[in-house]
Copies of this chain bind each other. A is one copy, B any other.
């Protein structure tokens, strides 16, 4: 029995709301238990230097926590991208995850910037960010599609955490308290087709075996499938139909 009464393979309650901000091309608010992340996708009609003239676009992500998002206030300096190794790792992860299901050449010479701002942090902010950012991304790509282009998102993608407790039990979707006492934890990014995009498993306190790794991946597979179903609900039939199809 877990801290909040969940079964080992049970996710927290998840809510994904679209159009969370008025100005960006796409935006979503995702809540996974007490974790809340605001995701925005902005389209800029420029590309980085190395893509000029190639006809291809770029997608990049930024991740930050609001000062009041966590039990101990996060100072604005420390959370800045430049000095915060953890934020850097996370935003690189978010960028890779979304690029894995995005046809950059279909974007044209544009840059899509994904902003993931954590309003409240209770574990799993990076996986929530990926899952929510996907919804913002699809919303934003509708603009490109309506302007006569190909829909650039080619599959669904979502992410979830799993971990091994200090008692050696494998559990899904760790809250902060579980995460900080876990022996090992793992983030899995998976597509709608069931293929893996990124697997990161770290022994925080105790190394682990291949068998344990396999059980974590089993848990994560179920979790991602659940999340993709919720993304589909949030996006609605028209946008779901668009993903993965050529206009």
Complex contact B193–A68 (CB within 8 A): no
Chain B interface: which of A75-83, A145-153, A167-175, A234-242?
A75-83
CB distance from A182 to the nearest CB of B (A): 14
Taking the complex as formed, is A138 at the interface, i.e. its CB lies under 8 A from any CB of chain B?
Answer: no
Complex contact A64–B76 (CB within 8 A): yes
What 1/0 mask marks residues of chain A from 172 to 208 whose CB sits below 8 Å from any chain B CB? 0000000000000000000101011111111100011
Residues of B within 8 A of A115 (CB): 66-68, 73
B38, B69, B193, B210: the one within 8 Å of A66 (CB): B38
Known A-B contacts A80-B80, A196-B213, A199-B200; A40 and B67 likewise in contact (beta carbons under 8 Å): yes
Known A-B contacts A88-B85, A200-B199, A217-B210; A66 and B117 likewise in contact (beta carbons under 8 Å): yes
Residues of B within 8 A of A105 (CB): none
Count copies of this chain in the complex: 6
Taking the complex as formed, is A42 at the interface, i.e. its CB lies under 8 A from any CB of chain B?
Answer: yes
Taking the complex as formed, is A48 at the interface, i.e. its CB lies under 8 A from any CB of chain B?
Answer: no
CB distance from A130 to the nearest CB of B (A): 14
Count, chain A residues at interface, CB 8 A: 56
Known A-B contacts A196-B213, A210-B196, A213-B199; A76 and B85 likewise in contact (beta carbons under 8 Å): no
What 1/0 mask marks residues of chain A from 22 to 47 whose CB sits below 8 Å from any chain B CB? 11100100000010001010101000
CB distance from A183 to the nearest CB of B (A): 11
Complex contact A42–B64 (CB within 8 A): no
Known A-B contacts A23-B120, A67-B62, A88-B88; A203 and B210 likewise in contact (beta carbons under 8 Å): no
Q: Whose C-beta in chain B lies nearest to the C-beta of A117?
A: B66
Complex contact B207–A196 (CB within 8 A): yes
CB distance from A47 to the nearest CB of B (A): 15
Pairs A–B under 8 Å by Cβ, sample size 26? A21-B66, A22-B122, A24-B68, A24-B73, A38-B119, A42-B73, A62-B76, A66-B115, A73-B115, A76-B81, A82-B82, A88-B89, A100-B203, A100-B207, A191-B207, A193-B207, A195-B207, A196-B203, A196-B207, A196-B208, A197-B203, A198-B200, A198-B201, A198-B202, A198-B203, A199-B199
Having A21-B119, A62-B67, one finds 16 other A-B pairs with CB under 8 Å, namely: A21-B68, A21-B120, A23-B69, A23-B70, A24-B68, A24-B73, A80-B80, A88-B88, A88-B89, A89-B89, A193-B207, A195-B208, A195-B209, A197-B202, A199-B201, A213-B217
